[in-house]
């Protein structure tokens, strides 16, 4: 059992997106492009943890001397087919406005579809920022590699997305790490693991913001329901993709009666 390893299958989806595309159109333009098989280190069981704790420090050190650490194990997942977003995204300096249709990428665990309605998708860590092409590619590749190699605990990861949010002549991108849990301790741990996989460019450093997926069973669209949940979930200073209109307060019964009394007094002859 000690030599057992976990094999995980991940699916690369490509999406052709436009600003005014419906959900049905988005699903029709979503295709499986590649499959990746990773072998992340198997988390130790409670019995193995107890056994390690009962050994003396000398036994533990001698046993670990011949055992490669998790971060020293060879990375066994071919990512040569992983597309780089800079080859298809709108880039700074292009002499045209952002294209009306573009390609986006998602890498999700086999059996999980990259949409909010999937029961395995509970929330996301996201950042919305401009990055130079090389920085964007490095961040995207490092996060995918972190999941495949086990540096990011893939048990809690549903998938990862890179999205082109450019508009007009201003390039803007979004990195999303979707989780299958909303437990704060677990999601914070996954966030810290993701950040440790990145070699931050000091000019383009960022912090992840949390958003919980909450779908309402009403006639409103799924997207509006999810955006509404962001307003209450994102930490102060977090970025929200769309500003929500503020609902106008309805007058109370007391205000209406007071207003009617004023009208009556004005109409009464002195």
In this structure, the strands spanning 8-18 and 30-38 are: antiparallel
Q: Using an 8 Å Cβ cutoff, are 45 and 97 in contact?
A: no
Residues sharing a CB contact under 8 Å with residue 119, sequence separation 6 or more, in sequence order: none
The distance from CA 31 to its chain's CA centroid, rounded to whole angstroms, is 19
Residue 149: HSE in the Cβ half-sphere, 13 Å Cα cutoff: 19
Residue 269 has pLDDT above 50, yes or no: no
What angle, 0 to 180 degrees and rounded to 10, lies between the N-to-C axes of helices 184-196 and 133-149?
A: 120
* 167 or 249: which leads in pLDDT: 167
Q: What is the pTM for the complete model shown?
A: 0.69
Position 125 confidence tier, pLDDT thresholds 50, 70, 90:
very high
């Amino acid at each position: 059992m000690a030599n057992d390893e976990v094999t995980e299958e991940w699916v690369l989806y490509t999406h052709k997106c436009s600003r005014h595309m419906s959900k049905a159109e988005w699903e029709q333009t979503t295709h499986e492009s590649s499959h990746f098989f990773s072998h992340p280190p198997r988390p130790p069981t409670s019995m193995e943890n107890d056994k390690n704790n009962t050994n003396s420090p000398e036994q533990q050190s001698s046993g670990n001397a011949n055992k490669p650490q998790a971060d020293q194990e060879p990375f066994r997942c071919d990512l040569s087919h992983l597309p780089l977003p800079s080859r298809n995204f709108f880039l700074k300096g292009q002499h045209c406005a952002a294209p009306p249709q573009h390609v986006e990428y998602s890498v999700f665990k086999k059996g999980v579809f990259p949409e909010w309605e999937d029961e395995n998708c509970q929330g996301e860590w996201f950042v919305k920022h401009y990055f130079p092409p090389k920085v964007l590619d490095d961040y995207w590749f490092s996060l995918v590699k972190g999941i495949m190699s086990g540096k990011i605990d893939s048990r809690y990861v549903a998938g990862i997305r890179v999205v082109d949010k450019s508009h007009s002549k201003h390039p803007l991108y979004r990195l999303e790490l979707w989780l299958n849990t909303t437990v704060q301790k677990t999601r914070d741990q996954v966030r810290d693991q993701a950040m440790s996989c990145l070699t931050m460019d000091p000019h383009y450093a960022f912090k992840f913001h949390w958003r919980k997926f909450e779908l309402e069973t009403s006639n409103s669209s799924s997207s509006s329901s999810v955006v509404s949940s962001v307003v209450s979930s994102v930490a102060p200073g977090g970025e929200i993709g769309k500003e929500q209109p503020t609902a106008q307060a309805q007058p109370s019964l007391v205000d209406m009666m007071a207003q009617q009394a004023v009208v009556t007094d004005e109409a009464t002859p002195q």
